[in-house]
Structure 1
Amino acid sequence: MNAALKLPLPAPTLDADRLAQLAALTSGLSSADLYWIAAYSAALAARLPEQAGRIVVSESSVAEVGQTAGCLSIVYGSQTGNSRRVAEQLAARAEAAGLTVRLLRTGVYPVRELAQERHLVVVISSQGDGDPPDDAIGFIEFIAGKRAPKLPLLKFAVLGLGDSSYPKFCAVSRELDARLIELGASRFAPAGEADVDFDTTAAEWSAGVLETAREGLSVPNAPTRHASPLHAVSASPHYSRDNPFPASVLENQRIVSRDSDRDVRHIELSLEGSGLQYEPGDAIGVWPRNPPMLVEQWLSALKLDGTVEVEHDGRRLPLARWLSHERELTRLTRPLVAAQAAATRHGELQRVLEPGQQPAFAALLESHQPIDLLRQFPAAWDATRLVATLRPLTPRLYSIASSARVVGSDEVHLTVGVVEYFAHQSTHYGAASAFLANAGDDVPVPVFIESNERFRLPIDGSRDVIMIGPGTGIAPFRAFVQERQATAASGRNWLFFGNRHFTQDFLYQLEWQEALHSGALHRLDLTFSRDAASKVYVQQRLREHGRELYAWLRDGAHIYVCGDSAHMARDVNEALLDIIATHGGLSVEDARAWLTELLQQGRYARDVY
């Protein structure tokens, strides 16, 4: 993660009104956006008055409008940062190969220029039920809509990042690829798709794209050069996703009542000596270990010996080590279902993979873990084939629940819902949550920081903030309220929280009560779905307070949502649309456009999973 630059600001030459306008304009923007504006302003200053307005500035180059024919435009849509990383790596390699490159995120891509593009690469992720990243919604809607231009001269390539444990794997990239063809564009490289272990696939796809792009842009055998990006680059910390920091556990506390049938933990980790830094809104990545009980279930179900040495990708480890440290055991994926169907030749399993069986396949993914499939449809697996078939274990991201200004830069807090339930005559576990629930003094937790620049508090502390976080979705808002109090932000803070039972599941209850008392929190609206005859969720509370909520938004408030993407986030989004339409006097279409504009401005931000 790039550390924030701590530079002294020059004395302002603008009057107070223009400084206020500048603060409002830049509120909620990411560091990449701010560097873009800085470069744009510098270019304007150099060229005014004759040619201002013809300048297009990206994070890596400056190009003229209408001169994109010799330029490779790389556009990314990213929810958690993976697509951004892949796009940045491709851009760096392309620049080093002598290509002129524009690198833009979808949220700032000027869609009016699409008709002038000649070589375009899109790296985009799918989230939840085949949804685009929040920052890419406007970009996707434009290309899918009636205003999209015909593109007979465009050559393009699309890479989709997804998770095959969801039924609509890479749905966004597939739809985008098909739509660009429909608009008359042609592929200069095949569409690519990468699962959560995307590094190798993305690197191979990028290499092919780069080779073809060099030919198409007439840069054969161009000398390698070092890219000189416009934006400031700070030294990366020693510890990262590929080299996680072994964090010691400072505290591991259950924060639900003893009689609750759920286990939620407040976990505090030490970052001392790591050099890692974080901001409210960021996530911490945890490299988990599969529970020993689950590994034993697999070995028993498959009748395999955990001590058997297995060689794969140049590494030789005991099978039990592969299963505990290296392979995904808790998430069912289409490739694993297909492998099991091929091994068993079971008709029921083969049918759910057929076209048109999407609902049945989605139901299977939702209701079964891989161990259930192995038991229900037994097949003979040898250790080597098993390791080669299973997906690599990947890190889990948890929203950070602390402000470094309050707890110190050498400490980070998490809110973890422990996954453990009984189904199909067996106890089921979550990989990371079980690992964290049992973490203590003897076992360090491998972690890294995942920056989330799209989920930031407003730069202008006078802006009001609305936070919607049921269940463990409350985590980032604990950090937000701490940060706003520490920085003496004058804007109001309104929190919506929901869970099942007031007496069992009111997470951080004393902290919220103290925040209300001290004025750090101005409003707190609660709902506990199992405490009444009929279930009431946060979206109903939003509608109940719709008039005031709309007034806050109309007057410039930022609104944040964190939690479940499959149900809660969709329901909250629909509630917001209803509120905007009802209290803003807008049609459904205009309300949707209004909410999309909030997304584009960074005033509506979601951290959903």
Structure 2
Amino acid sequence: MQLQINNSPFNEEQIELLNRLLPTLTDQQKIWLSGYIAAAQSAAPQTSPEATLQDVSEAAPHSQPAGPAPSKEVTILFGSQTGNGQGLAEDLSQKLKAQNYNVTLSSMDDFKTNTLKKVENLFVIVSTHGEGDPPDNALSFHEFLNGRRAPKLENLKFSVLSLGDTSYEFFCQTGKDFDKRLEELGGERLYERVDCDVDFDESAEEWFEGIISSLNEAQEASSAGTFSTSEAQVAAAGAPTAEKPAYSRTNPFKAELLENINLSGRGSNKETRHLELSLEDSNLQFEPGDSVGIYPENDPELVNKLIDEMSWDPDEQIVINKKGEQRSLRDALLSTYEITVLTKPLLEKAAPLSGNSELHELIKEGHEEQLKDYIYGRDIVDLGRDFSPWNVPASEFVSILRKIPPRLYSIASSPTANPEEVHLTVGTVRYDAHGRERMGVCSGQCAERTEPGDTLPVYIQRNPNFKLPEDHETPIIMVGPGTGAAPFRSFIEEREEIGAEGKSWLFFGEQHFTTDFLYQVEWQRWLKEGVLTKMDVAFSRDTEEKMYVQHRMLEKSQEFYNWLLEGAVVYVCGDEQYMASDVHEAMKTILQQEGGMNEQEADSYLEDMQQQKRYQRDVY
């Protein structure tokens, strides 16, 4: 018999839960449950009819004595530069809450380290940045954990999900560091570390399932024979799942291209594109500082060249995922697999498939420099040509390739100023290498194969580590040469719309004033109208001695320091390897020259600025 709302004291959600549970119970289970509830009521007479089964079970004594149950408290810490790690941490948090766990979710730089010793279940999600370095918001926690103040963690159970890119030498190094250090401090792995490449979705989902299963097994083993197990199952069955947007990283929105403009002047050494995409009917929301992910397609000419080189049948059906979905080989190479980048792990997987002794020799220990030289600037076509014969079917060869990762671009528009649109600034990558012209996968598609009216699969990548200050009167300093100026266009558009009164200062750099001054008319209008307070530019090829943004900062060191004293937030966007590190050193020099600090004090000042969210970087 089905319960109805009009003849019971339960609400609609409880009715649905009971109607799913009651038909599954045996007569013995119904009798036991009836007696249990009666005992619980006598033990807790104040319980209201609306109380949940969990409330009742907490108020009533268990029918059997049990030892200390494993903790239902879970802590998730993330270290994330671009937002991928934070997004995964939030997904895991929702999954664990649906399983009735109490979750503490925190970025590493916000976590109170003096509480670490009390944590019993710790899950770490962290990316690796640069050459094996922690992301900015993981630096302080990484330093703490490897310092003398790190506590013994004998009662800790932990697991680590590390994000990285196999094209870098120190793949997932930060995650490996955390995993090793937590074990050294006495922690016990609840589940083995998983290292993810750029196509991390399936690997991350497997890790989620693994740690949740491990947690649940520990709970069930402890509570065998008591009501607790049934309670957890009922709560999990009835727990509402978190609503997710219809469009996401795993379900991108096909955005129509409205505009595709070449910002670079005639004669420029570069080609920088301004794209305007429609988000109408997508329900995608973003803020200044966020990014757009684009899933690109490989160049059809490159795909055809690879198929010809390997003598493959383009119509052969290939399984492209664990669900068994199939596509033709040509379609799979166009839109599923990465074919433009070689990595050491890929060559190691390829060697057993090749009958060429030179490839086997290249991957041997001691040949690291030769391997690095070979990989640079080459792609799968080169691999196929240089190390034939390949005595395996196409399906086996393709199975070693990784999925095409999305390309992230800083958003160059304010949603307030341009509702239902998103603007991007894309530098086209073109170069010659090893006798062939080469092109960036996504930038080449945008420059040569995408016209207004076409669509691109996109999603929003939130970046909570690169945001305008909540106080609109706070001064901001923006350092963004080249396409690094994109988010600052978004910042200034937003501040214009909301009438922010705080001062703003932009440092912009490029090669030539006449051909490479991106968004020049807009910056000059904002300067004239007072929306942008100051702008300093550096065009490196227009002067006998190359001039970069860090040189302009040093020229204005006294004023720059005064802005810092006024509480200015500093934003840096662009190349990490050279520009961002040079800008960081320039800031240290300014603090030493104008603030009378020594090097250690200047380092500490910048670390404090990062902790206070007054020094934010979006670097790549």
Q: TM-score, normalised by structure 1?
A: 0.83
Give deviations 1:536-593, integer Å, cap 9, x for gaps. Answer: 3222222222222222122210111111223222222222223223322223223222
1:366 Cα deviation from its structure 2 partner? 4.3
2:315 maps to which of 304, 307, 313: 307
1:467 Cα deviation from its structure 2 partner? 0.6
Give deviations 1:121-152, integer Å, cap 9, x for gaps. Answer: 11111122222222111111111222222323
Question: 3-state DSSP class of the match of 1:525?
Answer: strand
Aligned pairs, number: 540
Partner in structure 2 of residue 47 of structure 1: none
Amino acid at match of 1:539: Q
Partner in structure 1 of residue 585 of structure 2: 574
1:363 Cα deviation from its structure 2 partner? 5.1
Judge which range, 565-574 or 115-124, deviates more.
565-574
Check if 1:494 corresponds to 2:505.
yes
Partner in structure 2 of residue 282 of structure 1: 290
Q: Distance in 2 between matches of 1:520 and 1:228?
A: 52
Check if 1:507 corresponds to 2:509.
no
Cα pair distance change 1:304/1:599, threshold 3 Å: same
Q: TM-score, normalised by structure 2?
A: 0.81
1:311 Cα deviation from its structure 2 partner? 3.3
1:354 Cα deviation from its structure 2 partner? 5.4
Amino acid at match of 1:563: G
Partner in structure 1 of residue 65 of structure 2: none
Give deviations 1:360-416, integer Å, cap 9, x for gaps. Answer: 655555433343333333441531013211111222111111112222x12111101
Give deviations 1:31-56, integer Å, cap 9, x for gaps. Answer: xxxxxxxxxxxxxxxxxxxxxxxxxx
Partner in structure 2 of residue 130 of structure 1: 132
Q: Please show how residues 503-582 of structure 1 align to structure 2 within 5 Å.
A: 503-582=514-593
Partner in structure 1 of residue 397 of structure 2: 386
Question: 3-state DSSP class of the match of 2:352?
Answer: helix
By relative contact order (CA 8 Å, sep 6+), the higher-ranking structure is: 1
Partner in structure 2 of residue 62 of structure 1: none
Cα pair distance change 1:529/1:186, threshold 3 Å: same
Q: 2:356, 2:388 within 8 Å by CA — same for their partners in 1?
A: no
Q: CA RMSD in A?
A: 2.7
Q: 2:356, 2:389 within 8 Å by CA — same for their partners in 1?
A: no
Cα pair distance change 1:327/1:114, threshold 3 Å: same
Judge which range, 182-191 or 409-418, deviates more.
182-191
Partner in structure 2 of residue 117 of structure 1: 119
Q: Distance in 2 between matches of 1:274 and 1:300?
A: 39
Cα pair distance change 1:203/1:234, threshold 3 Å: closer
Partner in structure 1 of residue 477 of structure 2: 466
Cα pair distance change 1:316/1:569, threshold 3 Å: same
Q: Please show how residues 162-561 of structure 1 align to structure 2 within 5 Å.
A: 162-216=164-218, 218=222, 221=229, 222-225=232-235, 236-313=244-321, 314-344=324-354, 349=359, 353=363, 364-380=374-390, 382-407=393-418, 409-437=419-447, 438-561=449-572
Cα pair distance change 1:410/1:69, threshold 3 Å: closer
Q: Distance in 2 between matches of 1:145 and 1:450?
A: 33
Q: 2:293, 2:458 within 8 Å by CA — same for their partners in 1?
A: yes
Q: Distance in 2 between matches of 1:498 and 1:227?
A: 56
1:502 Cα deviation from its structure 2 partner? 1.8
Q: 2:128, 2:171 within 8 Å by CA — same for their partners in 1?
A: yes
Amino acid at match of 1:449: I
Q: 1:401, 1:414 within 8 Å by CA — same for their partners in 2?
A: yes
Partner in structure 2 of residue 81 of structure 1: 83
Q: State the identity as a percent.
A: 42
Q: 2:117, 2:153 within 8 Å by CA — same for their partners in 1?
A: yes
Q: 2:358, 2:387 within 8 Å by CA — same for their partners in 1?
A: no
Q: Distance in 2 between matches of 1:379 and 1:126?
A: 36
Q: 1:248, 1:440 within 8 Å by CA — same for their partners in 2?
A: no
Q: Distance in 2 between matches of 1:366 and 1:498?
A: 28
Q: 1:99, 1:219 within 8 Å by CA — same for their partners in 2?
A: no
Q: 2:350, 2:397 within 8 Å by CA — same for their partners in 1?
A: no
Partner in structure 2 of residue 594 of structure 1: 605
Question: 3-state DSSP class of the match of 2:416?
Answer: helix
Cα pair distance change 1:461/1:355, threshold 3 Å: farther
Q: 1:167, 1:365 within 8 Å by CA — same for their partners in 2?
A: no
Amino acid at match of 1:239: Y
Q: Distance in 1 between matches of 2:610 and 2:278?
A: 34
Q: Distance in 2 between matches of 1:492 and 1:171?
A: 40
Q: Distance in 2 between matches of 1:72 and 1:142?
A: 21
Which sections of structure 2, spanning at least 5 residues, go unmatched? 1-68
Q: 1:577, 1:592 within 8 Å by CA — same for their partners in 2?
A: yes
Question: 3-state DSSP class of the match of 1:209?
Answer: helix
Q: Distance in 1 between matches of 2:82 and 2:476?
A: 22
Q: Distance in 2 between matches of 1:471 and 1:403?
A: 19
1:228 Cα deviation from its structure 2 partner? 11
Q: Distance in 2 between matches of 1:412 and 1:321?
A: 28
Question: 3-state DSSP class of the match of 1:210?
Answer: helix
Amino acid at match of 2:109: G
Judge which range, 419-428 or 356-365, deviates more.
356-365
Cα pair distance change 1:355/1:114, threshold 3 Å: farther
Q: Distance in 2 between matches of 1:168 and 1:348?
A: 25
Q: Distance in 2 between matches of 1:468 and 1:300?
A: 46
Which protein has the larger Cα radius of gyration, Structure 1 or Structure 2? 2
Cα pair distance change 1:328/1:151, threshold 3 Å: same
Q: Distance in 1 between matches of 2:355 and 2:406?
A: 33
Q: 2:355, 2:388 within 8 Å by CA — same for their partners in 1?
A: no
Q: Distance in 2 between matches of 1:535 and 1:228?
A: 65
